[in-house]
Structure 1
């Protein structure tokens, strides 16, 4: 019975270089996966489905020959700010529910990002309806078509 024994001689320097090159290849593969992986596709599709054109949009409100503007600021997918502009002191005194009603509506819109199911109290019903119509008009200007 003769056994053929093979002896392999490895130089330590070659083993170390091979290990380093394999490690670098694995790191390169991971970096390429994250650079060209599915993350790029998701961000491109999110940009294509944006709800609004970012900017500031206004709508005018006329009450008893007093005109002031409602300003709505939007990002690509959310309402960021709603405020009254050019509201004189006399108009604010004549319509004292205007600012509290807007604050109530704005807080609901910020949380839900929708004009659906907005609730308002009975004493602010008509003021809230006027403000909601103005907000809706401004958001229609901002919509991405």
Structure 2
């Protein structure tokens, strides 16, 4: 796992980020810029087979909580444990983290549950869309 703030292939980072966004590349470019400018944010990547296989974007809060804002794995590398590996390596690399939280939808909640997160329903935050708060403590 390594920081993507100075990654040589920004296009690959943007393509991966687009996988976890409901928007186009302009928003992904803006998000990459935010990670580069904001010292409370970190954009991390992991290589598999010599290529960027996954990205994880987080924001550190003053109380020891970290918000997992973005997690994406290359479509050709899914179902290989890369997302879980990113999370586990993150928690090992940052032992000061008291909890890692992410808000997600029904499509991804089982992934977080299998990765060891405690899951709480937030109810229907948007019409017809149930959201979940997932929390992982060391």
Same fold (TM over 0.5): no
TM-score relative to the length of structure 2: 0.29
Instruction: Compare the two structures and name the one with the higher strand fraction.
Output: 2
User: Normalised by the size of structure 1, how large is the TM-score?
Assistant: 0.28
Higher helix share goes to which structure? Answer: 1
Q: Which has the larger radius of gyration?
A: 1
Q: Which has the higher contact order (CA 8 A, sep 6+)?
A: 1
